[in-house]
Amino acid sequence: MGMDIRSALLMGCMVGLLMFVGYLVGGGSPEIVLLFFLMALAINLITYWYSDKFVLAMYRARVLAEGENLPLQNMVSQLAARAGIPKPKVAVIPSNVPNAFATGRSPSSSAVAVTTGALDLLPEKELEGVLAHEISHIKNRDTLIMVLAAAIAGAIGYMAFWARWNLLMGGSRRRDQGGSSLLAMLLVAVLVPLAALIIRLAISRGREYGADRGGAKISGRPGELANALERIEGYVRNRPVSGGNPATAHLFIVNPFRGDVLINLFSTHPPTKERVRRLRELEANQSIGRIY
């Protein structure tokens, strides 16, 4: 599976917002709009080729050799075979808090990273559920889709920063030029970045729900994935990550950057309670199917 229609439409809205920023900044100039579109394209290409290397290095993840930690390698290999994709590389992150993420530009060039805490604290079946969730992300190319959304939102954020600086330094001059110019800068500085953030969150949350369903199908144990989510949520709530970059939060199975009400409100992940509820529902339907 690739990008679904809903995600494709949302990504189109993101690119449209970026071009709209170019329109406002450039006063309607087609050249400026084209410049911003090419900037989005460049960001996408750089992200496509190097995002996996960047994020693995950021979290000091060590890629395992083929003969290293065979139980973990075999689990990933079996789940990948069930999903119908090549076995991804397996990496371990030195962190006591259980969590995991997938990264890579395609199923043939991908990696699954798990923390030492996940290996130590999660029961085997729950770990299998977590890995199946991440492999579902890889199969559906969610890692690329979510990183692209983050990259475009980041570009809009930089333009908003520029617009706020421009308003601060040249506000009186813009008032002399007319109210429409000032309004355009206000849109770029405040409303457009907020719209981009909302769209990015909608993309990310939708892909998380999809990966939960896909992971449950791959592992055949939606209840174990639900248990793992509850367990990881409990650890993350008490011990949010101290390093890393919040811009990468969308990659993890549970948002590791917690503790602030505002961060929770604008989380890249849907509420864990709702994710668990949907998985329990899948588990119940699965049980009914076995009976009949």
Which active-site residues does the annotation give? 134
- H helix intervals, the chain: 5-25, 30-58, 70-83, 116-121, 124-139, 142-177, 179-186, 192-219, 222-238, 261-265, 272-291
Cα end-to-end span (Å), the chain? 29
**259, 278, 132, 284: which is closest to 205 by C-alpha?**
278
Burial class (CB in 10 A: 0-12, 13-18, 19+), 159: buried
Rounded distance, CA 229 to CA 237, Å? 12
Residue 161 CB contacts under 8 Å (≥ 6 apart), including other chains: none
**80, 256, 221: which is closest to 213 by C-alpha?**
221
Strands 109-115 and 100-106: antiparallel
Rounded distance, CA 197 to CA 200, Å? 5
Strands 109-115 and 89-93: parallel
**111, 187, 199: which is closest to 150 by C-alpha?**
199
- The tokens of 233 are what? 């949520």
